């Protein structure tokens, strides 16, 4: 709901509100963001700061919604442009606004030049989220050079804030970090052309006391799969702001007369109920409003990569498929190594047709054999990159990103096609469309295995630095066209594991392969971080031969908290292992609706003292499943104690393995003591079903031996 006041607007979601308005100087100013208040008059007026001595003008001190670089403003701006006559600042004035029940558009324009800015705010009521983007239109007759244009600036009162963010690297992505912000600017970014393994375009701010279950938290994401930047700035005047959007590193965009440029969307929200609720809001939003296919039950898949690497040929793949089917897998994904001349990482990339020596009877026959085993068939591709040793590169050496005078540096033996070019987009659409039309492919895994170097575009239509954005637009165009033409195909997104785990991909991909690291003990923390942003129904998890020293059941349990897959060389597994796998897969099938569609509660953070626990609760709160893990802890470490979450207080539930029928309130207020009951040793794990039952509670409502109140 959007309320309009004289010179101001209040954007209301179910539980929150965001207010903005014009101040006396005519600047579009942030007024409020937090819990929804009862009356429009409750929200503060736009502020009118005075100057601070000769060095700080009011404009530096005003919390502007979308500050342009101008005046005596030295904060991180949202917009920086250069006009054709060399003027390098932008002086934005209010020009009007319109709104419907969900969207507010505020129009600003430069005070001298015919340059128009539209700020769009969209309300997602049920998810308590606000979506923002900005569009710049050149109504003049000379080009304007955009040098920075963020999607949004989010304001926070005062200086005492803690930033939560995600960080890591290849094989070790999405670790949760929390740190107090101090005066200055903390920058998180990617300059790699993909959103990257190293940081995610995600933030959460709290006042330092917020926990999983309690406390205020403001959080957000950027819907973008390329280079991005996040600045968390505390000014010397105790104002805190988070800016998020396209990275301005090496960026420029020529905005020709009549053209418009729109930023990616930034999405953010507020909750009083802790980091867990923040994640669940994002999960609901992604499931309900972002994913291309409505939430459905994803199949258990087998992936052949770690079993055979590039050594692919029909019979060995079939042997894997036979065992995978026997274990209960429902989809067989043929990974890298299937296509023309792909015998190692040095050749073939770009030539997307089956290698005749590897599939002498043709891929079609192989797919029918997989289908006859009762499994769907999936295929790996890496369309954005090309080996110099490929027919594609020999035909089109000019199609790759490069500077003409520089060596073309290889990453994993490949160069990157310039997806900013329309001819490259057309080629990919055509060749991949042909592949999807020719074979019975139910699922595609789209990989991207290098980062950019020599970011050149010789003959670029505008500024060569437009590459950073045009590439991603081109990528989206190829995905969107393929999805439109093949709507039934499930798409997995991967970039050497989690190098492109972002909201932009989730508009197009059903699942993300979040890390090449499937060693269960490190994976738990990677998954925990990923779940801060996105739901388990998008999180692909495989059991591989990594960390074979751990019990197979533990490795399965860790993978059962997402979309379960197997990626091991199961030809070498013992009959015992196959029986364990078969039992785990069968069990997963009984709980996957909860994991994939339920509300996720992180009961125990994975990075903390050797334990990890997650709970998924059905939307009607009728059932739930609890996963608990013990990695390595010293023997004297107190054992795991957990409280359940998300149950209906009045209903009665049973918890598998714990005696008694108790109210949801009881299970949520008393500790489950795993030490006394079904205790976990190092590298042991357990899965417990929680069921609502209609039978009244018996006399054993509180059993002090098995469960005790906190602190006893
Ligand atoms: C990347 C992916 C792997 C696998 C290989 C194939 O590393 O993350 O899962 O697909 O590429 O080359």
Residue 356, token pair as written in the block:
């005749």
d(CA 200, CA 614): 22
What's the pTM? 0.96
Per-residue pLDDT at 142 exceeds 50: yes
**Closest Cα to atom 6 of ligand 1:** 336
**Over the stretch 311-345, which tens digit does the pLDDT of each residue have?**
999 999 999 999 999 999 999 999 999 999 999 99
What's the CA-to-centroid distance between 425 and ligand 1, angstroms? 23
376 is catalytic: no
d(CA 315, CA 306): 17
| Strand order across the beta sheet in which 599-604 lies | 599-604, 611-617, 623-630, 684-693, 652-655, 658-663
516 is catalytic: yes
Cα distance from N-terminal residue to C-terminal residue, the chain = 47
Q: Which residues line ligand 1 (CB under 6 A)?
A: 305, 335-336, 380, 447, 449, 494, 496-497, 513, 516
**Over the stretch 617-661, which tens digit does the pLDDT of each residue have?**
999 999 999 999 998 877 767 778 899 999 999 999 999 999 999
What's the CA-to-centroid distance between 516 and ligand 1, angstroms? 7
Query: How remote is the C-alpha of 12 from its chain's centroid?
Result: 25
Which pLDDT belongs to residue 674?
A: 83
Which pLDDT belongs to residue 649?
A: 97
pLDDT band, residue 680 (cuts 50/70/90) = confident
d(CA 627, CA 562): 11
Per-residue pLDDT at 697 exceeds 70: no
pLDDT band, residue 709 (cuts 50/70/90) = very low
Residues 283-305: what's their mean pLDDT?
93
What secondary structure does DSSP assign to 235-252, as a single string? Answer: -TTS-EEEEEEE--TT--
d(CA 413, CA 411): 5
What's the CA-to-centroid distance between 445 and ligand 1, angstroms? 9
Which pLDDT belongs to residue 677?
A: 63
Which pLDDT belongs to residue 65?
A: 98
Q: Which position among 355, 516, 528, 671 bears the catalytic label?
A: 516
Residues 551-566: what's their mean pLDDT?
98
Q: Which position among 335, 447, 510, 599 bears the catalytic label?
A: 447
Instruction: Give the mean pLDDT of the chain.
Output: 95
DSSP class of residue 677 equals: S
Phi, psi (5° rounding) for residue 496? 50, 55
Q: Exposed (0-12), middle (13-18) or buried (19+): which is 107, by Cβ within 10 Å?
A: middle
Phi, psi (5° rounding) for residue 133? -155, 165
CA dihedral 547, 552, 558, 561 (to 10 degrees): 140
Which among 631, 656, 635, 634 has a CA at the least distance from the CA of 644? Answer: 656
**Over the stretch 254-275, which tens digit does the pLDDT of each residue have?**
999 999 999 999 999 999 999 9
Phi-psi region of 525 (alpha: psi -120 to 50; beta: other; left: phi over 0): alpha
pLDDT band, residue 695 (cuts 50/70/90) = low
Pick 711 or 214 by higher pLDDT.
Answer: 214
> In angstroms, how far apart are the furthest CA atoms of the chain?
84
Structural element, H or E, at residue 662: strand 658-663
Least confident of 139-148, 402-411, 605-614: 605-614
């Amino acid at each position: 709901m959007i309320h309009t006041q004289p010179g101001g607007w209040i954007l209301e979601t179910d539980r929150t509100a965001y207010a903005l308005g014009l101040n006396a100087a005519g600047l579009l100013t942030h007024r409020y963001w937090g819990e929804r208040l009862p009356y429009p008059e409750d929200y503060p007026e736009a502020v009118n700061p005075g100057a601070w001595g000769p060095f700080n003008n009011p404009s530096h001190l005003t919390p502007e919604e979308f500050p342009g670089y101008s005046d005596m403003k030295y904060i991180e701006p949202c917009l920086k442009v250069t006009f054709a006559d060399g003027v390098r600042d932008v002086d934005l004035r209010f020009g009007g606004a319109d709104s419907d029940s969900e969207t507010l558009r505020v129009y600003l324009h430069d005070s001298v030049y015919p340059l128009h800015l539209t700020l769009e705010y969209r309300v997602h009521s049920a998810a308590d989220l606000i979506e923002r983007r900005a569009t710049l239109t050149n109504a003049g007759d000379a080009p304007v050079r955009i040098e920075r244009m963020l999607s949004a600036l989010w304001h926070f009162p005062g200086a005492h804030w803690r930033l939560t963010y995600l960080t890591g690297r290849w094989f070790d992505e999405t670790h949760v970090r929390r740190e107090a912000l101090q005066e200055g600017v903390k920058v998180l970014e990617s300059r790699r052309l993909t959103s990257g393994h190293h940081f995610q375009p995600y933030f959460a701010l709290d006042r330092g006391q917020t926990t999983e279950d309690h406390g205020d938290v403001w959080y957000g994401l950027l819907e973008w799969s390329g280079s991005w930047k996040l600045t968390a700035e505390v000014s010397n005047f105790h104002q805190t702001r988070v800016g998020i959007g396209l990275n301005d590193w090496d960026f420029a965009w020529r905005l020709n007369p009549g053209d418009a440029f729109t930023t990616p969307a930034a999405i953010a929200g507020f909750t009083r109920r802790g980091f867990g609720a923040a994640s669940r809001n994002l999960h609901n939003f992604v499931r309900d409003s972002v994913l291309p296919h409505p939430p459905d039950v994803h199949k258990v898949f087998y992936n052949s990569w770690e079993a055979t690497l590039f050594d692919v040929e029909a019979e060995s793949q079939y042997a894997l498929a036979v065992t995978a089917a026997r274990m209960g897998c429902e989809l067989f994904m043929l990974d890298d190594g299937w296509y023309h001349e792909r015998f190692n990482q040095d050749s073939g990339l770009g030539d997307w047709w089956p290698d005749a020596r590897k599939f002498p009877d043709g891929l079609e026959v192989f797919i029918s054999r997989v289908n006859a085993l009762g499994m769907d068939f999936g295929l790996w591709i890496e369309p954005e990159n090309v080996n110099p040793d490929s027919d594609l590169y020999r035909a089109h050496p000019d199609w790759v990103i490069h500077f003409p005078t520089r060596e073309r540096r290889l990453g994993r033996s490949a160069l990157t096609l310039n997806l900013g070019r329309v001819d490259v987009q057309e080629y990919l659409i055509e060749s991949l469309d042909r592949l999807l039309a020719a074979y019975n492919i139910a699922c595609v895994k789209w990989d991207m295995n290098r980062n950019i170097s020599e970011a050149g575009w010789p003959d670029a239509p505008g500024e060569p630095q437009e590459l950073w954005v045009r590439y991603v637009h081109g990528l989206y165009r190829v995905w969107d066209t393929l999805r439109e033409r093949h709507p039934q195909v499930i798409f997995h997104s991967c970039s050497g594991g989690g190098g492109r785990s972002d909201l932009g991909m989730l508009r197009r991909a059903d699942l993300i392969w979040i890390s090449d690291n499937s060693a269960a003990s490190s994976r738990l923390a990677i998954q925990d971080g990923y779940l801060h942003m996105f739901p388990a129904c998008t999180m692909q998890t495989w059991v591989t031969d990594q960390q074979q020293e751990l019990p197979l059941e533990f490795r399965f349990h860790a993978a059962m908290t997402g979309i379960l897959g197997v990626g091991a060389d199961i030809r070498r597994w013992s009959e015992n292992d196959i029986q364990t796998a078969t039992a785990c897969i069968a069990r997963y099938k009984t709980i996957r609706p909860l994991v994939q569609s339920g509300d996720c509660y992180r009961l125990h953070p994975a990075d903390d003292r050797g334990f990890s626990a997650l709970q998924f609760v059905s939307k009607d709160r009728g059932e739930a499943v609890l996963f608990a893990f013990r990695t390595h802890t010293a023997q004297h470490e107190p054992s795991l104690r957990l409280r359940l979450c998300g149950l209906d207080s009045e209903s009665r539930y049973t918890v598998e393995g714990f005696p008694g029928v108790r109210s949801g309130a009881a299970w949520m207020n008393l500790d489950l003591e795993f030490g006394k009951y079904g205790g976990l040793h190092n590298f042991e794990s357990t899965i417990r079903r929680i069921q609502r039952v209609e039978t009244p509670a018996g006399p054993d409502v509180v059993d002090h031996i098995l469960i005790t109140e906190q602190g006893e």
